[in-house]
Structure 1
Amino acid sequence: MNEFKMEKKVMYIYDSVLRKECDRLPTILGRASVVTDLINSYKLVQSDNVTVVPSIFATYDELRLFHSTAYIDFIKKRSNCDDTFEDEEELEFGLSYDCPLLPQLYTLVQALAGSSITAANLLAESKCDIAINWFGGWHHAQRDEAEGFCYVNDIVIAIQILTRSFAKILYIDLDVHHGNGVQNAFELSQKILTLSFHKFSPGFYPGSGNVDEVGSQRGRYFSVNVPLREGCSNRTYIRCFKEIFSRVFQSFNPSALVVQCGADCINGDPVGQINVTPKAMGECIKDILKCNVPTLFLGGGGYDAANTARYWTYLTSLIINKPIDNDIPDSSEYFMKYGPSYELHIDAGCQKDFNTDEYLSNIISTVLSYCKVIAKDELPSK
């Protein structure tokens, strides 16, 4: 890895329209406002090395960089429809259950995708070293289907934009769920490597992402998965990340990074339900920052609004290299959400960690064998 560059030029994607659109996502109602308020309460985006950039809505053609014409056209057609009756076509496009058809859905999709496209363009045009977009990170959406609370895969579209300027892109998924939509999009590619650390247990969504899922054809071994069992602890997560990330980075030698920082990996999340803390995840982010290549940081899952705000605020402070107090500022509009501790950091969970040393050693050795292929040294042993 490169020598750590202390002062990086950071661009932070934000505008009130984007925040309001993200606030109306059914599973995270109002979350964007809670996150924005805490980051502003710490005055992080007012730092000298940070520029706040308003998002530009995605165009129809930009949405079609990944999504099918039929899917986008259907969203446009039904966007102004008040009828909540589910027809077969809605079910075909995944607009049901966890992704219900919303009023003005096309506007929402344009806003979410546009925020990550705006960030990707800034990086591609060398206007910054790092772009932060906590409104993006919707990694489950497929080419012609909404899935897993995700209506649009802004990550895939942003990566497509980045390929215009960067030869090889490493995508790192730190959400508690497997980044299946992004992996599926690039499973045939050697230019985009997907690396996902996630919970993998019976019945846990989306059910994919075992260590033997490695991509297909020319892209074989360029999809890397680190499946973690129930009760993942800080020790387990940090061990896996530190032993795997640096080797994958060195083997692939990317010219840009895209990092999905889903907050559902944090202890206390009602969906993720693992033991990891923001400080532990921060150790992973510090290693990513030391790579000194253009990097796009994105949000993602996170179903406890206060903990999501804590996590992304802490990560923002690390990214811009500005230490912040543990006490939540009492100027925060949502101060009461942070009780009873009213502190930024939270404790680890006390679930039993089912990731044994033997299991972790097998996962790590398997992934490191793939790195030999990525670096074109030799084929992994059977």
Structure 2
Amino acid sequence: MSINDQEKLTKVPNVALLDTAGYASDCNFSALIPQHAMKPYRLLATMELIRALKIDQNCRIVVPPLVKSGELTQYHAKAYLANLGLHDCCSWRWSPETSKAFFSGDCPPAEGLMEHSLATASGTLMGAVLLNSGQVDVVMHWGGGMHHAKCGECSGFCYINDIVLGILELLKCHERVLYIDLDMHHGDGVDEAFCESDRVFTLSLHKFGESFFPGTGHPRDVGYGRGRFYTMNLALWDGINDFFYISIFKHALHCITFHYRPNVIVLQCGADSLAGDRLGLFNLSSWGHGECVREVKSLGLPLLAVGGGGYTIRNVSKLWAYETSILCNFPIPVHARIPFRAMPCTGWLFEDSPFLLVPRDESHRISPLCHPREAYQIILDQIDRNVSKIRVGSLQSNLTCVVKCGEDEETSFIRNETCHD
């Protein structure tokens, strides 16, 4: 980021919105798999909706420059990046051997994927840089949140783990980072990266099951070595509603912040936890999901909010626009109608559509073997046991964060004492 960019940001509100929709909208995963669930134009719809509702009046929209692929080696293995084909995406379609070795059904090669992947990383990295500089207090990048990608592996529609890259950038200037994941799927990529570090606390609320992707995130998984008890996996039941979800979330959030005392928060706002999501099984309303964001904002800590999952496009875009309004202090009436005619590219998605999603009766999803109030109490007890083991005084004295990168690689990151305080 240039000095001129920094000077401009000092003259605007302390909330920034990173816009990478222009980079990502041309990426077409459906070229090889017509029914692929990931639709990059959901980001374009989100940005158009934010502008149509005039939410952008309360924040500064910044289009980040694309990072170089070399910057991704802070976390991702060089061999993986080379084989991923970031330098020549057009060769993918002509190399079935490469496609078979490095791509899967949920992560196909696609035209425009190089720019899409770099844009994903660029927005989140720039958001972390802005927070480190102290020029803004809240940054949003709805094009980020790709929490499944590993050091040397793409997974779950995720090719580059922008969250890990962003956290590593934040660790240059902050001692302790709290990572919160609201996606219905466990954030296994982030968990794996920091499971042995006490400088990053990971909290994930998700559905857990060996037959449910990604099959990780068991409540007993609490981290390893120095990172033991700095991971909290809360496995929730199908059809969970606003009341139970918000109650569990608030209890976990306040217990963790009291004991761990984070300096900065990274919040993954996966929208597949909403009612009616194409791949989801939870029953949250837009308001309920947004209340979790509002609660995090109320802590007053530097905050980097990113997107994530979400496969019913209209609901995803409405949710992220709504949560932008929360983080920008731009109130929107509960029964607001969407000015879809002011959205030239994606207005057709929102014709005659209310702004906020109201959940349906999803009680049939709850297993007869599951008793919500009993499950709720078990989860609260799990939270209390987990946080009772946190010892902030035992944090690594040299402020070095060891990041897991495959079986044989690890990288250390040391706090830069010259950063803004």
The residue number in structure 1 matching 2:381 is: 365
Instruction: Please say if 1:374 is aligned against 2:402.
Output: no
Aligned position for 1:261: 269
Q: In structure 2, what is the Cα distance between the partners aligned to 1:349 and 1:203?
A: 25
Matched-pair contact (CA < 8 Å) for 1:221–1:374: yes
Change (3 A) 1:82 1:206: closer
Return the offset for 1:232. Answer: 1.1
Q: 1:175 to 1:225 in 2, by over 3 A?
A: same
Residue 347 to residue 355, structure 1, CA distance change in 2 (3 Å): farther
Q: Which residue of 2 aligns with 1:24?
A: 28
CA distance in 2, matches of 1:199, 1:105: 29
Deviations 1:260-283 (A, max 9, x none): 001111112110132111101111
Output the CA distance in 2 between the equivalents of 1:307 and 1:64: 34
Shift of 1:106: 2.8
Cα gap change, 1:29 to 1:377, in 2 (>3 Å): closer
Contact 1:123 1:129 in 2 (8 A): yes
Query: In the aligned structure 1, how far is the partner of 2:257 from the partner of 2:86?
Result: 40
Q: Is the 8 A contact 1:285 1:315 kept in 2?
A: yes
Corresponding residue for residue 229 of structure 2: 221
> Do 1:231 and 1:355's aligned partners in 2 also have CA atoms closer than 8 Å?
no
Aligned-residue offset at 1:129: 0.3
Name the CA distance, whole Å, in 2 between partners of 1:117 and 1:377: 29
* Superposition TM-score, scaled by structure 1 size: 0.90
Q: Which residue does 2:16 correspond to in 1?
A: 11
Give aligned-pair identity as a percent.
30
Equivalent pairs, count: 366
Name the residue aligned to 1:3: none
The residue that corresponds to 1:245 in the other structure is 253
Partner of 1:53: 62
Q: Secondary structure at the match of 2:46?
A: helix
Q: Give the drift of 1:140.
A: 0.2
Partner of 1:195 in structure 2? 203
Cα offsets for 1:2-46 (capped at 9, x unmatched): xxxxx971011115533435x535521421221111111101112
- Conserved in 1, the CA contact under 8 Å of 2:286 and 2:356? yes
In structure 1, distance between residues paired with 2:21 and 2:205: 32
Secondary structure of the residue that 1:80 maps to in structure 2?
helix
> Alignment partner of 2:90: what SS?
coil
Q: TM-score, normalised by structure 2?
A: 0.82
Shift of 1:78: 5.0
Residue 96 of structure 1: aligned partner: 104
Q: 2:81 — aligned with what? A: 72
What is the RMSD of the two structures over their aligned residues, measured on CA atoms? 2.1
Deviation at 1:166, TM superposition (A): 0.7
Match of 2:349 among 325, 337, 341: 337
Q: In the alignment, residue 20 of structure 1 is paired with which amino acid? A: S
CA contact (8 A) 1:327 1:343 kept: yes
Deviation at 1:104, TM superposition (A): 4.4
Q: Distance in 2 between matches of 1:318 and 1:361?
A: 30
Deviations along 1:71-95, one digit per CA (max 9) or x if unpaired, are 11112355230535532x54443x1
Partners of 1:111 and 1:317 in 2: CA distance: 23
Distance 1:42 1:152, change over 3 A: same
Query: Aligned AA for 2:118?
Result: Q
Return closer, same or farther for 1:16/1:189 CA change in 2, 3 Å cut-off: closer
Any idea what SS the aligned residue of 1:165 has? coil
Tell me how far apart the structure 2 counterparts of residues 203 and 236 of structure 1 sit (CA, whole Å): 24
What is the one-letter code of the residue matched to 2:373? D
Quick one: structure 1 residues 216 and 15, their matched pair in 2 at CA, closer, same or farther if it must change by over 3 Å?
A: closer
Residue 373 of structure 1 aligns with an amino acid whose one-letter code is: K
Unaligned runs of 5+ in 2: 1-11, 31-37, 395-421
The answer on whether the counterparts of 1:35 and 1:309 sit within 8 Å (CA) in structure 2 is yes
Question: How many Å separate the matches in 2 of 1:36 and 1:131?
Answer: 15
Which ranges in structure 1 are unaligned for 5 or more consecutive residues? 1-6
Asked whether 1:300 is paired with 2:308, we answer yes
2:409 aligns with: none
Partner residue, 1:349 = 360
